[in-house]
Structure 1
Amino acid sequence: MAERYVVHVAFTAPDPDAARQFGRTLARTLDRLPQVDAAEATVSAEDDQGVQSRLFCDRLLGGGRRCVLRAEHEVPCASVEVVR
């Protein structure tokens, strides 16, 4: 089994909410690649990388499905079937 790694890419955003939105967009785009696990994506401030915010709920819903909504959403979980 291949080892897992994390890529740290700095970007600018006006506030933490915008940073999380950009992070979700980037993660969903990269999730098309089989090596990427977007469900584990997090974002942090450049000067405080030890404090990371999850971008997606990722709650296991059964049947091999996970919630694809943003972390801490207030509506019922939603899923899509991931085939890799």
Structure 2
Amino acid sequence: MIGRPRYVAHVPFTAVDLEAAKHFARALTRSVTFLPDVDPGNASLSEEDDSAVQYRLFCDRELDDGRRCTLRADHDVPCTAGRRR
């Protein structure tokens, strides 16, 4: 095996709808990005009983300078490597 194994933490929570759940999950993800081993670009959300359907939280497209877009997955402005939203 090359590198260290990757893991996913499953933390159930309630929300009024999918958009509210995405907002909470993005905030939760951003709150732990100070940890060097967290990969926010690959963070996703699923309903508790349907983990096969996952919603990406962040865009994570590669930009011309090699950095990654840090905006939410469904953003409608140009990609940027600025603050995660």
TM-score (norm 2): 0.89
- Structure with the higher strand share, 1 or 2: 1
Number of equivalent positions? 80
Instruction: Give the equivalent residue in structure 1 for 2:29.
Output: 27
Describe the superposition over 1:36-65 as per-residue Cα deviations: whole angstroms up to 9, x where unpaired: 101100001101111000000000003231
Cα distance in 1 for residues equivalent to 2:68 and 2:74: 14
**RMSD of Structure 2 on Structure 1 (CA):** 0.9
Which of 51, 58, 66 lines up with 2:60 in the alignment?
58
| One-letter amino acid of the structure 1 residue matched with residue 45 of structure 2 | V
Cα distance in 1 for residues equivalent to 2:17 and 2:77: 24
SS of 1:39's partner is helix
Gaps of 5+ in 1: none
Cα distance in 1 for residues equivalent to 2:77 and 2:62: 16
Per the TM alignment, residue 19 of structure 1 is displaced from its structure 2 partner at its CA by 0.3
- 1:1-84 correspondence runs (5 A): 1-80=3-82
Cα distance in 2 for residues equivalent to 1:62 and 1:9: 34
TM-score (norm 1): 0.90
Gaps of 5+ in 2: none
